[in-house]
Amino acid sequence: MKIGLIAGSGQLPLEFAKTAHTIGDEVCIFAIKSSTDREIESFGKTFWFSFGEAQKLVDTIKGEGIENLVMLGKIEHSSLIFHFYKLDKRAREFLSKLKDKRAKSVLQGVIEELEREGFKFIDPTPYLGSLLAPEGLITDIQPEKQTLEDIHFGMMIAKEVADLDIGQTVVVKNKVVIAVEGVEGTDRCILRARELTDDGAVVCKAARKNQDMRYDVPVVGIKTLDSIRKLRGKALAVEAGKTYILDRERFIKKAKDLGITVMGVKVE
């Protein structure tokens, strides 16, 4: 199968491209300059775009004869909102038609816009299923009673916040919400919490209630653990089956070395 990969920053597009390449799919990559990891060129024909070149992207995908698309990796939400002047005419017109500029509205709108052009967005989960967080302890560090209570409290709050499309992450301690992720992203949310509490906080990350696995699925990795270390946090809880863990073996080893409990939680 020939697949077009619209790749933002981070490791997730790399993992998809690597897996698809390994199983014999032809991957054509549409990457963002100064954002997408250049290693991705190893796994397929790659076209580079400046941020906001929407018409050029559409024309290039059509020129390659691609029908099936995947969109993975981080594209800074703040760039879309605060750097409107960098967008081409088509991108500006697209954003102006949206009912609001929340991440879900923007990303779902992108998919619908491209589907009107005849493209089909496929679920990347079959290529990335091995990265999904399982339910239960992911490290063997048993949480204390208070930490476990904070995990369940925090995951409930994170789910509500995610469903409102504010962010995916909250930091809690003693059943008090210390910080909520907004447009700044997960790591800066965690570091902001460091200014508001001492050690022992819990970081919780959840998907939307009806998460579309084609876009904006929660992701954690080594960088997340580094931020929790700076927070002097005790635990990281993620939604089981709906959160990708990057570089899992190294991630688990680092979490153990840092004494951070990591748990996958099913959220009803």
pLDDT digits (tens, 9 = 90+) for 68-124: 999 999 876 555 655 666 788 998 898 888 888 888 888 899 999 999 999 999 999
89-97 helix and 103-116 helix, angle to the nearest 10 degrees: 120
> Which CB contacts under 8 angstroms, 24+ apart, belong to 135-139?
135/240, 135/241, 135/264, 135/265, 135/266, 136/240, 136/263, 136/264, 137/261, 137/262, 137/263, 138/245, 138/252, 138/255, 138/262, 138/263, 138/264, 139/252, 139/255, 139/256, 139/260, 139/261, 139/262
Q: What pLDDT score does 78 carry?
A: 58
Domains and CATH numbers, the chain: 2-127 (3.40.50.20), 132-265 (3.40.140.80)
Q: What pLDDT score does 258 carry?
A: 97
Q: Which residues of the chain have pLDDT under 50?
A: none
Q: Are 20 and 30 in contact (CB under 8 A)?
A: no
